[in-house]
Amino acid sequence: MADRALFEGRSFAALLFDMDGTLLSSIEAAERIWSRWAARHGLDVEAFLPTIHGVRAVDTIRRLGLPGVDPEKEAAELTEAEMDDMGGIKPIPGAPAFLAALPANRWAIVTSAPHALARRRLAAAGLPLPEVLVAAEDVARGKPLPDCYHLAASRLGVTAADCAVFEDAPAGIAAGEASGAAVAVIAATHLEPMATPHPLIEHYDEIVVRLDAAQRIQLAARD
């Protein structure tokens, strides 16, 4: 089968990946932990759960403005609970092979999870630990602001505008857009179709990666 360019006429210095919902599925574990937390605080669990994805725990809690709740303390306790629950953690189909095709110094993970949780989930999913991992503690302002993507790009020695970002959640997509990067949306964990102007990819078996003569990354959708 022929392959067609995913970003017509473009090549990239590096690729930047969100983690949860983009490289691996952790939705079962995350929603178990957050459901108990939300119920304990009298929240409408069903309405609340969609708001947790793609952003730092401390930002989610702070946004609620719950009286008497210390966002930093609650976020730390949630992280500890999530560290103990790796049930259902698995890679997005095709992600291990796709990452293996990339030069080690040309990709990074940019996650709203803390470092320790990110490392544990990557290990549980059988995914490699990248040379550059930007996590919740590394930025003062999380997604949807672009700081994390600018930081990851700089640590790779490139600019975000010369990268492609892979995301699944609205906050992360907005962060990728604001960084100036090209954005691709991974839909493997979406329960409903997402309207987006960006390339929409179900899983990584649908795309291939190549290095051009200048060793820049080109992406193509497999027909």
Catalytic residues: 18, 20
Beta strands in the chain (DSSP E): 3-5, 14-17, 24-25, 90-91, 107-110, 132-134, 163-167, 182-186, 200-201, 207-211, 217-222
In sequence order, the β-bridge partners of residue 91 are 24
Kindly state the tokens that stand for 167.
Answer: 């995301």
Kindly state the tokens that stand for 72.
Answer: 């930093």
Q: For residue 167, count other CB atoms closer than 10 A to its CB.
A: 28
Classify residue 44 as exposed, middle or buried by CB count within 10 Å of its CB (0-12, 13-18, 19+). Answer: exposed
Task: Give dist(CA 48, CA 85) in Å, integer.
Answer: 20
Terminal-residue alpha carbon distance, the chain: 6
**Bridge pairing between strands 107-110 and 132-134:** parallel
Handedness of CA 195, 31, 87, 108 (dihedral sign): positive
Token pair 């907005």 in the structure block, residue: 174
**DSSP 8-state symbol, 20:** B
